[in-house]
Structure 1
Amino acid sequence: MVTRKAQSLNNKAKTDSKAANEPKHIGLVVNDGYLAPYEDAIRGRHDHALWKLGQLTRNGKISLEDFASGYDYYGLHKLSRGWVFREWAPNATEIYLVGDFNNWQETEKYKAKRIEGTGNWELKISEKGMKHGDLYKMHVYWNGGSGERIPAWSQRVVQDEETKIFSAQVWNPEKPYVWRKKKFKPNKSPLLIYECHIGMSQDAEKVGTYTEFKENVLPRIIEDGYNCIQIMAIQEHPYYGSFGYHVSSFFAASSRFGTPEELKSLIDEAHRNGIAVIMDIVHSHAVKNEVEGLGNLAGDPNQYFYPGDRHEHPAWDSLCFDYGKDEVMHFLLSNCKYWLKEFHFDGFRFDGVTSMLYYSHGLGEAFCNYGDYFNGHEDDNAICYLTIANKLIHEINPNAITIAEEVSGMPGLAAKFEDGGYGFDYRMAMNIPDYWIKTIKEQSDENWKPSSIFWEVKNRRPDEKTISYCESHDQALVGDKTIVFRLIDADMYWHFKKGDENEVVHRGIALHKMIRLVTAAAINGGYLNFMGNEFGHPEWIDFPREGNGWSYKYARRQWNLVDNKDLCYHYLGDFDREMLSVIKSVRNFQRTNVQEIWHNDGDQILAFMRGDLIFVFNFNPTRSFTDYGFLVPTGSYDVVLNTDAKKFGGNGLADDSMTHMTNFDPLYVKDHKEWLKLYIPARSAVVLKKN
């Protein structure tokens, strides 16, 4: 006779056995069942990364961080006695160093030797053989040719002001930089990023410096309430107008902005004020230049780059790294570690990730369904590199920040490695700026639909954090327009003085604030703003070039405009500061649920709640509403931000000093909700906080 207890145990054993035999889904599929048909591909990519990780670390005999230490070996280094120089150049037959120390002449004393059985070259130099500040290059020979080159691992590269020629520079200052803030942990609650460019950060029509940025711009960022700066164009690049995206020397901080010590001082000062510092890192491609860059370092154009049809990027006029080569992995991973360890950067925004992921670079593809991400046109080598790079970065600094600039929507990009993801902390919400541009260009104000706006600003995968933004540097380049310029255009020149605003200016100021508020209010990770756009910087960005007479007029930021209280710019800047303050008033704001309260496309009204904050928007250009009611948690509410306040350039039509009490409704007693009735002026938004 079987007892009930024995039968129960028997049934449990069968259930456990059945569960054990059922396949365990990888985390990405658990989080999103629609990915189930592609689980094999997801696992394949994950296993590929694990295999490569084992290969690079000799199956755990060394750490990934130990592997990524190439910059300590290659390049020029000062030893206790003398100097040592090393370069990876397997196709070379001879390498000489020439420079100030030997009158730029090839001599046996400065001839490198190949390390037997490798593609590495080494040269040992006496103590007096070179000194700090000397300029130098390589003369490289190969079968059938020779050339003058800057070493691939150079940590200091400078340009002659007269000849415009680049050279490597011996850099060994007597007093190395001493960090004042040795340990720093970024504040990510939420991450509020100020995207910036050192060179164009000053009022003057010139190239700004690290020190000028530290003294003149960093205090503004601190005062405005941002907790992270994202610096562009750090890696050395021959052409200033490339915005830093055509990199030549990956380990050299651009000397056009100052010295390495001055960059370290900027980062140190930011850390001392609670500001994280991340850099735009460009590992998606490299400049084609041969003398300054890696294009043909030793007679082999494919040393660092893919051969054949994949060698050149068809849209960017640049070269594509061969991520399948261990030596290239070593170079790029070491580059990640170098900037983290040597300069104390807190992480990276990886540029051009879409271009890396696909053989097509994402060009001409629509990406309409999940099958488009798993149809065999993906570069598994690049995916593997990005995954391992994220592993490395977080092994070095568990608090590091990594952001993917990616437009195709590849699933798993900002998901955990253990779940089959690529390990980024955030991905850029690149749909949002595109949406705002399209809306402003193509829709009349009467057709702005709150339901569409709300869907767009919160359209993301629930298991991946994003950086939301209305506009970045991309939307400010010549040929494009910033949001404020799309809204106001030429009237900014003639009617942006207080008391002289026309209807176009009033509309532009109102919508500029509302667009930013609804975007920032719906974040699930962080928010980004490009330098100057917070106060509606006029015009576009156009770097000096032949077509504009090498002018710096549009490659700067006119801080004098926002500092002039007689102009309307400060309204937008003041609002941006208050908006960030409100968002930061809620602990872990980015983790709170975005709960829709109401939307009505006919009225053009939207309301949603996060924590104790209620956000109410009236996008209607002409209709104001009295006693417009919303069902909200019972209690009293105070206004903490109003886009229509006079101090932000609004009309000040509502009394923001009054406390709003909810009105009882017996139908909603069980839900603990009552009616909150508000006066909502046309084209305005208000934020209320529950007491």
Structure 2
Amino acid sequence: MSETVVVYSLFTEFDISLFRSGKHFKLYEKLGSHACHVDGKQGVHFAVWAPNAQSVSVTGNFNGWNPHSHQLHVRWDSSGIWEGFIEGLNLGEVYKYHIHSNTGELLEKADPFALYNEIAPRTASFVSSTWYQWDDEKWMKNRQEVNALDKPFSVYEMHLGSWARDPEDPLRLLNYREIAQKLVPYIVEMEFTHVEFMPIMEHPYYPSWGYQITGYFAASSRYGSAQDLMFLIESLHKNGIGVLLDWVPSHFPGDAHGLYRFDGSHLFEHEDPRKGYHPDWKSYIFNYGRNEVRSFLISNAFFWLDRYHIDGLRVDAVASMLYLDYSREEGQWEPNAFGGRENLEAVHFLQEFNEAVYSHFPDVQTIAEESTSWPGVSKPTFAGGLGFGMKWMMGWMHDTLNYFKEDPINRKYYHNQMTFATVYGFHENFMLPLSHDEVVYGKQSLIYKMPGDEWQKFANLRALYLYMYTFIGTKLLFMGGEFAQTSEWNVNQSLDWHLTQYAPHRGMQRFVKALNKLYRGEPSLYEKGFSTDGFEWIELGDHTNSIFAFLRKGHEEDNDILVVLNLTPVVRDYRVGVPKAGNWEVILNSDDLAFYGSGLEQEQVASDRIFWMNKPHSIQLILPPLAGIVLKRI
């Protein structure tokens, strides 16, 4: 054993006990590399979990990448942690772990807890720090006012590397600070409440969009340093914008320097390929039954909430975690102890993750991308639920897009696709997603999913957006959708921002801004967004005319609003029932000229004492074609 590595530990016996029981949720304070002083001497403490190793050493430029000169010491407590202090090193040192496994393999691994990694295709880690002088105290103190479930939640989903690029060099990725200069004023102008970053953890394969992660604790160095990312998040916070982050505890890639067979054994992944290999993504599934793996994953969630001030985590591919037979044929999976298809270890992990997050960070949100009818995803764990704050409403998304794809002449045959969501829509706290998954792989952009000529396509999409923003639940729109990007999303290039110089696209952009303003300004659209008390159908059966009408309700009756959709290209003179007498004023019309509509205006209309649609009063409306109008009693 080399004498240049000092026996020194950051761990207490209590730390080790927590780690081995799956209850240590701040492992990033102990494992990894930490610049520090020991006995007055500057150096770096290294610690890595590799229980099936014969030996572990640190290699780097400082020792000519010699695997024999700086060997770590294994702890006496059978925790499998190797650690030690190397004098003379400091921040910025590049390194890897050289692992000699019990089976004789020699492995070169990046640090699973590294805070910064080399830019791909290089794979080494840096001794780094997440220290930052934050200036978002006001936001952090009051963010529960923005993040609560009874507040407006309008999310702009984006991929950092393809949102915008350097116009002088379209191949160059903007860094975090450059993105901040462009993004912050844009989100403020468009009046979204939150942005959601697709995964920004280090990933070697850029076209994976960030979902094939090797460095779970490292912000991608493609865009700059940890502090650069913190500057971006801080800038958003200082302007009242929440930041959500895609988090991927469902699988990881098999890159040689990553987590796969980290110490020559199936350490992080499940050994049984029926549970540990993902056939869809050719990746590896975490062993949720292993205590140390649960500590790793929950620590990673805490890390982003703690060190980066993230306001919520959108958890990717939850369905793939919950079912043992997910994407598997008969014979390719093994039932659980009760003979079922549920992954009980994953269920327990997700419940524990949500309990831990909400107990330590009560003003954040966790959001599940869960595509099945698993019960209670957003219900409390004490009631048998998974404990998420919200769940993506994938059924609404599929049904709505399928309906709007139809030529209006055929929509009467698909009328129930627009109404079915309210049959199950209050079983969960749903978020309505029009995400990146809907505009790739030949699915076309949103605007080109719409039928008709150019004007009709834009009118249809505006109507869809109005329906989305005034329907139940919270909202998510993928970048480019706000100005009707015409091409599918391409991770290798910027959005087509030049389109906004043309009237149809500029009108769409104005309309999405108007929707965000409406959503944020009308309490009836968010105060009871997950409750049957906040929604009432007025007309849901007129399939012949493809007309829908509903009320949205808040805590105060005077704030109730009426939404009417005419999803055919025909102007209609139409009577709609209303709950109270008075003058009803249009507060938003998707057919407005400013939005590239036809400009058919509906004047303020007084109610008649005519019983209609089971309401004591009614109003006679002129409904614009392929449009929606929002009315409020004044």
Would you say same fold, with TM above 0.5? Answer: yes
Amino acid at match of 2:571: S
1:647 alignment partner in structure 2: 594
Counterpart residue number, 2:581: 634
Q: TM-score, normalised by structure 2?
A: 0.87
Q: Report the CA distance shift for 1:440/1:172 in structure 2 as closer, same or farther (over 3 A).
A: closer
1:464 paired to 2:400: no
- The reply to whether residue 137 of structure 1 matches residue 137 of structure 2 is no
- 1:399 deviation in Å? 1.0
CA distance in structure 1 between the aligned counterparts of 2:154 and 2:329, rounded to whole angstroms = 33
Equivalents in 2 of 1:261, 1:463: separation in Å? 41
Hey, what does 1:47 align to over in structure 2?
none
Instruction: Calculate percent identity across the aligned residue pairs.
Output: 27
Instruction: Report the equivalent of 1:37.
Output: none
Partner of 2:495: 557
Q: 1:94 to 1:317 in 2, by over 3 A?
A: same
Q: 1:295 to 1:190 in 2, by over 3 A?
A: same
Q: Residue 675 of structure 1 aligns with which residue? A: 618
In 2, the alpha carbon distance for the partners of 1:356 and 1:103 equals 42
- The match for 2:373 is 409
Residues 472 and 530 in structure 1, CA contact (< 8 A), matched pair in contact too: yes
User: 1:89 touches 1:298 (CA, 8 Å); kept in 2?
Assistant: yes
Question: How far off is 1:541 after superposition?
Answer: 2.2
Find the counterpart in structure 2 of residue 36 from structure 1.
none
Change (3 A) 1:308 1:65: closer
Q: Which runs of 5+ in 1 are unaligned?
A: 1-55, 366-371, 489-502, 544-551
Query: Which letter maps to 1:686?
Result: I
Structure exhibiting the larger radius of gyration computed from Cα positions: 1
Pairing 1:145-224 to 2, within 5 Å after superposition? 145-159=105-119, 164-172=121-129, 176-182=131-137, 183-184=140-141, 185-186=143-144, 187=146, 188=148, 189-204=151-166, 205-206=170-171, 207-224=173-190
Task: Name the residue aligned to 2:75.
Answer: 115
Instruction: Report how far residue 457 of structure 1 moved.
Output: 4.3
Structure 1, residues 15-67: CA drift from partner, whole Å, max 9, x if none? xxxxxxxxxxxxxxxxxxxxxxxxxxxxxxxxxxxxxxxxx9999x99x9972
Give the structure 1 partner of residue 572 of structure 2.
625
Match of 1:608 in 2: 550
Distance 1:380 1:140 in 2: 33
Q: Do 1:362 and 1:408's aligned partners in 2 also have CA atoms closer than 8 Å?
A: no
Report SS of the residue matched to 1:480.
Answer: coil
State whether residues 487 and 504 of structure 1, in contact with CA within 8 Å, keep that contact through their aligned partners in structure 2. no
**1:446 is matched with which residue?**
409
1:528: Cα distance to partner? 0.3
Shift of 1:596: 1.0
* Whole-Å separation in 1 of the counterparts to 2:481 and 2:129: 39
SS of the equivalent of 1:344 reads coil
For 1:298, which of 263, 276, 292 is the aligned residue? 263
Normalising by structure 1, report the TM-score. 0.80
Distance in 2 of aligned mates of 1:264 and 1:518 = 35
Q: CA deviation at 1:672?
A: 7.7
Q: Which residue of 2 aligns with 1:351?
A: 316
- Matched residue of 1:199: which SS? helix
Matched, 1:380 2:340: no
User: Partner residue of 2:606?
Assistant: 661
Cα distance in 2 for residues equivalent to 1:640 and 1:166: 55
SS state at 1:327 partner: helix
Residues in 2 aligned to 1:485 and 1:629: alpha-carbon distance in whole angstroms: 32
Choose 176-185 or 331-340, whichever is displaced more.
176-185
RMSD of equivalent CA atoms:
2.6
8 Å CA contact retained: 2:499, 2:505: yes
In the alignment, does 2:50 pair up with 1:72? no
Q: Distance in 1 between matches of 2:292 and 2:369?
A: 25
C-alpha distance 613-531 of structure 1, shift in aligned 2 (>3 A):
same
> Deviations along 1:223-270, whole A, 9 cap, x unmatched?
111111111121111100001111111111111111100111111111
Q: Secondary structure at the match of 2:465?
A: helix
Partners of 2:564 and 2:301 lie apart in 1 by 43
Residue 686 of structure 1: SS of its match in structure 2?
Answer: strand
SS in structure 2 at match of 1:507? helix
Q: In the alignment, is the contact (CA less than 8 A) between 2:552 and 2:562 conserved in 1?
A: yes
1:474 and 2:437 matched: yes
SS of corresponding position for 2:156: strand
Q: Residue 595 of structure 2 aligns to which amino acid in structure 1?
A: F
**Letter of the structure 2 residue corresponding to residue 607 of structure 1:** A
Match of 1:49 in 2: none
Change (3 A) 1:461 1:647: closer
The one-letter code matched in structure 1 to 2:291 is: D
- Name the counterpart of 2:197: 231
Letter in 2 for 1:357: L
Distance in 2, matches of 1:224 and 1:360, equals: 42
Which shows bigger deviation, 188-197 or 276-285? 188-197
Equivalenced residue count is 584
Q: Which amino acid aligns with 1:558?
A: D
Matches within 5 A, 1:203-352: 203-204=165-166, 205-206=170-171, 207-291=173-257, 293-352=258-317
Whether the 8 Å CA contact 2:114–2:128 is kept in 1: the answer is no
The amino acid of 2:45's aligned partner reads V
CA displacement at 1:627 relative to structure 2: 4.7
Structure 1: which amino acid aligns with 2:498?
Answer: N
Secondary structure of 2:232's counterpart equals helix
Corresponding residue number in structure 2 for 1:684: 627
Counterpart secondary structure, 1:157:
coil
Aligned to 2:448: 485
Q: Secondary structure at the residue paired with 1:153?
A: coil
Shift of 1:459: 4.5
Query: Against the structure 1 CA distance between its residues 440 and 603, is the aligned structure 2 distance closer, same or farther, given a 3 Å change threshold?
Result: closer
Q: How far apart are residue 436 of structure 1 and its match? A: 3.4
The SS at the match of 2:162 is: coil
> For each residue in 1:52-94, what CA deviation from the matched residue of structure 2 results, as whole angstroms up to 9, or x when unmatched?
xxxx9999x99x9972111111100122332210011011111
Distance 2:619 2:165 in 1: 47
Output the amino acid matched with 1:587: P
Deviation for aligned residue 1:333 = 0.9
For 1:617, the aligned partner's letter is: L
Matched with 2:326 is: 361
For 1:615 and 1:438, locate their aligned partners in 2 and report how far apart those are by CA, in whole Å. 21
Aligned twin of 1:93: 54
- In the alignment, does 2:465 pair up with 1:516? yes
Letter in 2 for 1:482: S
1:307 is displaced (CA, Å) by 2.4
- Greater shift after overlay, 398-407 or 471-480? 471-480
- Distance, in Å, in 1 between the alignment partners of 2:440 and 2:93 is 37
1:392 aligns with 2:356: yes
Query: Which stretches of structure 1, 4 residues or more, deviate above 4 A after TM superposition?
Result: 56-59, 362-365
Q: 1:482 to 1:457 in 2, by over 3 A?
A: farther
**C-alpha distance 536-65 of structure 1, shift in aligned 2 (>3 A):** farther
CA contact (8 A) 1:201 1:208 kept: no
* 1:558 positional shift: 2.4
Q: Assess, with a 3 A threshold, how the Cα gap between structure 1 residues 67 and 588 changes in structure 2: closer, same or farther.
A: farther
